[in-house]
Each structure stands twice: as structure tokens, then as C-alpha cells.
Amino acid sequence: MLRSLAALLLVSTAATAQDYRQRLPQDEVIYFVLPDRFDNADPANDRGGLSGDRLKTGYDPTSKGFYHGGDLKGLMRRLPYIQSLGATAIWVAPIFTNKPVQGGPGQESAGYHGYWITDFEHVDPHFGTDAEFKALVDAAHARGMKVYMDIVVNHTADVIQFRECVGKPECAYRSEADYPYQRRGGVDGAGINAGFAGPGVQTAANFARLTDPNYAYTVFVPAAERSVKSPAWLNDPLLYHNRGNSTFAGESSTKGDFVGLDDVMTENPRVVQGMIDIFGGWIDRFKVDGYRIDTARHVNPEFWQAFVPAMLKRAEANGIPHFHIFGEVAYDTLDVGLLARHSVVDKLPGVLDFATRMAILQTMTGTQEPNAWDKLVLGDALYASGDATAEQLPTFISNHDSGRIAWYIQKALPKASPDEVLARVRLAHAMLLTLRGVPTIYAGDEQGFVGHGNDQDARQDQFASRVASYNDQPLLGTRATTAQANFDQTHPLYREIATLAKLRVATPALTRGSTILRARQDTPGLLAISRIDPATGREVLLAFNSSDRPLTAAVQVETRSTRFTTLAGACAPRASAPGSVSITLPAFGYAVCAAEDR
């Protein structure tokens, strides 16, 4: 189906042919990987240097909720595989030292994903060493590839406990109105923290008056964990909100524990400077190229307004002029305003583009809401710098939290054959790799991974897995399962993504071009979008058919676009008339057509 220009197929070494530091964020194609689930090159670190059973070491390769053994050495030895896919940047899930196991009796799972941090300054021994991470970054840079770290500021591992919640499955959020900071245990409690005006007054003098953390709950830390966090200042309970579990609404969204994880009081100037020191240090030591920020919407805006400029300044001092920062602000909706708000109020340079994911997902499952693509394209104006911000938003169709695009298609269309699901997944990737933003491929999608849902059910091993609920499912486009290693560069999805990725980075209209919505339907059918080259003004027409029947339609183009070169699919060689071209697409087909001036 894909017929890229022969010259574009020779771009596989383009990343090394130029100074990777000079590429803008929107010039990248990102590959997102959880090290534990990618490749295991060093079985000696599988237990992270710990001894005992899985509740001590966190290691159980037969359970989807425990460590499986993937490591940084495995990721480094697969750099050729990732680069051949067309990726120019690697987003690595958190590699910091985690609490190995959390959860009550019968509910235990491990920190294999990296989001339960105790030591913010060093690599988790399950993944390797600081030196091995440095070797990975250096090896990627030698190939002209960037490395983005996944970081966490909102919370740490679950260490702080509350007396009132011992033995209970849930520790409900206690609001500031019912449990004010200047009373112990409620409005009728004894006076404490005299003069503390609350975390809204973000000065050192105000926080000096916060001396007792027992305003909402009675706080304690088990003796064995009183010094477990690093840097040492993170062990002080006064630097946390201590109000119980977030409901993810209202004040609890930024002050509640994220499913029990200790919620850092990011309003405190001590915390702000401490986090700047931590993550500025990672830039100094390893020269990484960007940060993806976990749970960014659950941190107060003032923190980001201080943190982001500090990181950009630190990166600039290290010779990194285009440091890419984007926050996770998870909203499963097409309401672009909810995402854009965080670029305006928080002043985050970018956010993960959940709205584009939703538009593609709805298109691929035939569930488009009215005017979905109008909302998406017109909504770009809402971001802080309009299109300039929108162009650097990482776009995605699958991830480790939300699940894989193939699973959503199978769930929505249970009668669809494997071939039809594969065709829809291919079309979804074609949209991802040609629309505006920074396309982000989730490891395993290129091998036809499907999964049984989100979260742990979408975190399959790419090396040979021992998890029964992963291995019971055939993959798309192959007879393989996850019971064997899946790094097949002949897989149809791998080849499709690789060719599209190389086409993208070789075509400025696709990396940096503006967007014009040409045609769309609220039912399965035609979607047509023009991308305009910012230097020449020439357009590249994108046409997608989300229906199971072929279609032919007239599509508006610029009047100067009189002739077309086929970059993918099949394009009419000439416009039908000034301003109109005929597009013919097979079922679930697409075309990429580069206009030439008369």
C-alpha cells in the first residue's frame, strides 16, 4: 500500500547526518518504552540486588504486576532496532529507585513501571546502574537520537501512613474546610500551626509556621522506612499534604494522594528548590534531551511556573537548546480547552495530546462525535502560543496507562476479523505519523500487540514473556505471541511505521507545517487534511478512509496546487480543476500527496 519516493527510503541515517541538538521538538518521532518490559540483557539484576521471595525483591516474571527483568543494557542493545523503526527520540519510563513492592495483603504489586520512587537521585538496581544509563544516553546520542526521561514530582512511593486508616482499604480525602491546617483533627480540634495561612501563601516565612502534620490525619512512618527516601529532605512528613486519597476533583486533585502515594506539598519553596536541584542534576550528569512529566495536572501551577524555566536554563547551560518538556494531563475527551489550560495557566511548554488520541480512536472505531475533527483542529488556537505550541505536543494512539489502539478496536468491533483490525491499526498509525504534533509509538505496537485492557494488561513483554494472560493472545500481522521475543523487522506494522516515520522526518510540511481541515465526516468515511510547508508554502494533502468500502471524492486544495507526487498510497497526478483534486481510496486506505506548483 505504501509507495514512498525512493529517495526518502534512504533517510535511515538522517538522524546521524545532522547535529541532533539542533532539531526542534516537532522534528522528532518518539518511541516510548518501559525498560522492565522491553529486553533483558542482564539477568543478574533481575532481583535488583535484593534477596527473598517476590514480596521482597519485586521479581516475578509470571505475574503482570511484578518485575520481569528488562533493563537498560537490553534497551541499549536494541537501539539499532528502534532507530530502524524510524524513531529519533526515546522516551524511557522512570528509571529511579522504587519501593520494590506496595499494597496490602493480597493486593501487592511491584514498582516495575518506575512511578513509586524512593531515591530520586539514582537508577533502580532492577534496571542497572547510573553508569549504564550514562552509557545508554551516550550510545543514543552517537546515533543522533535523543533521550527523554519520564519524571515524577507530584508524589513519592507510599511510605507515610495514617493511624486512622490502618487496616482499612481506603483512606478518604479530608478537605481543608473540614480539617483546617490550624486545628488538629478537625475544626473542633486543638490549635496547631499558629499563623500558617495555608499552602496558597507560598513563602518560606509562611511554611516556617507549619510545624505539625497532624491536621487531617495522625501521621506516622514505619521505623524501617524513616530514612528510605533520597535526597534526605524528602523524608520529612511536613513536606507532604497528608490528606488522604485524591478523588481527582476539586482541591483533592492537587492535594490528595494519588492512589495512596505520598502527595508532595509542591507549594512549599523548599520542595520547589529541591525538585529543581534533583532534576537539574540529571541534566548536568547525563545530558538528557527532555522530560515527560507524570501526573502534571495534579501539581499546582505555581510549581511549574518556577520549575520549567529552571530546567530550560539548566539545559541551555549544558548545550541543549531545544530541551523538550511535556506534561501528562490525562483527559479522555476531545475538549482541547482542558489540555490547553495547562499551557496557559501552568505555562507548560507542551502536554501529551489526549485530544488527538481521542479523535483518532473515535475515527478508527466508527464512534466519532459530531464535528470531532473541527474541534480538534480549531482547538489548536487555545494553546498558549497557538499553533506553535500545538506543533510540539506529543501525539499517541496507545500507551501503558490507556491501553493499545488494537484493543480498543477489537472491543468496539468484536465481529471484525484480524485482517480488518490490522488494517484499522495501520490506518491509525498513518494518521499518527502524518498529522501535526510529535508522533509517539508505544513499544510493542509495531509488533501487533493487542492486550486485554489498560494499565497492567497493556504492558506486555517484548522479550519472551512468562505471563499467561499475555501469552494467550495472538498478535496482529503474525502467528507469534508474546511467549517469544518480538523484534521482527519484517512485521507489516514495523515496516509500515518505519517507512512513514522516514517519510515524515524528510518532509518539512509533516514535521513543522500548519494544518488545514479539508474534508471530514461524522460517520466512517473521508478525512482530508492539508499540511503546508512553512518555508515554501507548498501543501501535502493527507487523505484517510475510515470506512470498510472504497471511496472517491473531490477534495479542495490550494489553487496553486496543480500537480501532485505520490508519497504514499495513490494520488491523482493533476488537479481536476484549480482548487480541486480527485481522491480515490480503498477501504481503510490512505494517501499522502505532495503538491507541485505549475
pLDDT digits (tens, 9 = 90+) for 380-427: 999 999 999 999 999 999 999 999 999 999 999 999 999 999 999 999
Distance CA 30, CA 145 (A): 10
DSSP element (H, E) containing 133: helix 130-142
Enzyme catalytic residues: 294, 328
Residue-level pLDDT at 170: 87
Which CATH architecture does the domain made up of 512-595 adopt?
Sandwich (2.60)
Task: Look at strands 101-102 and 539-545 and give their pairing.
Answer: unpaired
Model confidence over 550-568: pLDDT tens digits?
A: 999 999 999 999 999 999 9
β strands within 344-442, DSSP E: 394-396, 438-442
Distance CA 94, CA 116 (A): 9
Output the pLDDT for position 412.
Answer: 97
pLDDT category at 3 given cuts 50, 70, 90 is: very low
User: For the residues 472-491, what does the mean pLDDT come to?
Assistant: 97
* Segment (H or E) for 374: helix 372-379
pTM score of the predicted model: 0.96
pLDDT value of residue 549: 98
Grid cell 544516553 is found at 137
**pLDDT one-digit tens code per residue, 192-230:** 999 999 999 999 999 999 999 999 999 999 999 999 999
- Rounded to whole angstroms, the Cα distance separating 431 from 590 reads 9
pLDDT band at 346 (very low <50, low <70, confident <90, very high): very high
CATH classification of 28-158+269-504, choosing from 3.40.50.10470, 3.20.20.70, 3.20.20.80, 3.40.50.2000? Answer: 3.20.20.80
State the pLDDT confidence band at 11, using cuts at 50, 70 and 90.
Answer: very low
What's the pLDDT score for residue 598? 60
Instruction: Please tell me the predicted confidence (pLDDT) of residue 505.
Output: 97
Query: What's the one-letter identity of residue 144?
Result: G
Q: What is the pLDDT of residue 169?
A: 84
**Kind plus residue range of the DSSP H or E element containing 542:** strand 539-545
Domain locations along the chain: 28-158+269-504, 512-595
Give CA–CA dist 516/296, Å, rounded: 30
> Are the C-beta atoms of 149 and 127 separated by less than 8 Å?
no
* pLDDT reported for residue 18: 57
**Spatial contact of 416 and 463, defined as CB atoms under 8 Å apart:** no
Instruction: Assess whether the region 28-158+269-504 and the region 512-595 belong to the same CATH fold.
Output: no
What average pLDDT does the chain have? 96
Q: Which SS3 state, helix, strand or coil, does residue 381 take?
A: helix
Helix 372-379, helix 354-365: angle, nearest 10: 160
Amino acid at 499: T
Using CA atoms, how far residue 197 sits from 200, 216, 238, 256, in Å, is 7, 16, 15, 19
